[in-house]
Amino acid sequence: MSGWETETVSVEIVVPDDWHVHFRDDEMLAAVAPFTARGFHRALVMPNLVPPITNTTTAAAYRDRILASVGPDARGDFTPLMGLYLNDDLDVDDLLAGHRDGIVFAVKYYPAGATTNSEAGGASLAGYRSALEVMAGVGIPLLVHAESTDPEVDIFDREAAFLEAELAPICDEVPELKVTVEHVSTRAGLDFVRGHTGVAGSITPHHLTCDRSDLLANGLRPHLYCKPVINSREERLALVAAATSGDPRFFFGTDSAPHPLSDKESVSAKPGIFSAPHALEVVAELFYQRGALDRLEAFVSLNGAAHYGLEASAEVVRLERAVGEGVEGATTILSADGSEVRIFGVDAGRRWSRLSRRCC
């Protein structure tokens, strides 16, 4: 197709937010944070460090480390929004104080053992009912890794199982709670969001553009292994339809999650995909291919901010698609301690350029 392209395609959108990102810490934080800070107005930062971020003091310290790591090219208005890890160490009074002081933005629930650094997670969401009621009363959002850890449940069905068994009762019993189903990966997740008031869903670039054949056919590709796992083609196409529809309940969250090559190319690969450098371009290419560039801004820049009751950025960025194959780019990054990390979406990154910003 590229050989027949003769006209430049471009689109202007409000500077986007990333509503789900993992920065890790130390040398890895320093290596990956600048990519997000250059391209996004806000980043909702996940708290699954070791040890996890469970109180206001550690959240404030982590935010300071993030801001110290973003580099000289960061956007002037880049804002990390901090989440606390919902487990038995969470103190509700501290949570309320942190939220009141503008340090804590949201609370994240991980089922214990579901994904990277989730060992400190909960055995049951229902066990935190009293904290969730307090959160609902003051408008603190609940972010949910919606994945059953029951070994009897097939890995491709674990999102649906968690939603039915754990999240549905909470949504019914605490209807004022603002909930985000993170990284929706199935039609069950889409239907759950559509069926519950106050519930929204973030969708990742990799769940929109890859399916399990990409992961498993023609050789195992561990760099596409994530949690929840990318699912079937049918599930992916349903996600694409939702994302490109303009439905305000769905929005962009990269779930960018770096791991060194040694942890990906191993006997037991860790789940996570590092997409921060080209996540926006991956989604722009998808929307272009679907003839939906006019709805890109809603998905990446507007819907998430509206769900969380925030104003969108006051600036605009122009995305331009190259004629032909575009410019070559790096396929990995290297942290100061020598950890090499594979970048997702390099082909789309070669296709699209982010050009001059201007005020709205």
Catalytic residues: 255
The Cα–Cα gap between 163 and 123 comes to: 14
Q: Which two tokens stand for residue 3?
A: 């050989």
Q: Which two tokens stand for residue 161?
A: 């199982």
Amino acid at 340: E
The phi, psi pair for 7, rounded to 5°, reads -115, 140
Residues near 297 by beta carbon (within 8 Å), at least 6 away in sequence: 11, 13, 14
Residues near 223 by beta carbon (within 8 Å), at least 6 away in sequence: 264, 273, 342, 344
Q: Which two tokens stand for residue 342?
A: 């594979």
Of residues 90, 96, 167, 81, the one with CA closest to residue 138:
96
The Cα–Cα gap between 54 and 314 comes to: 32
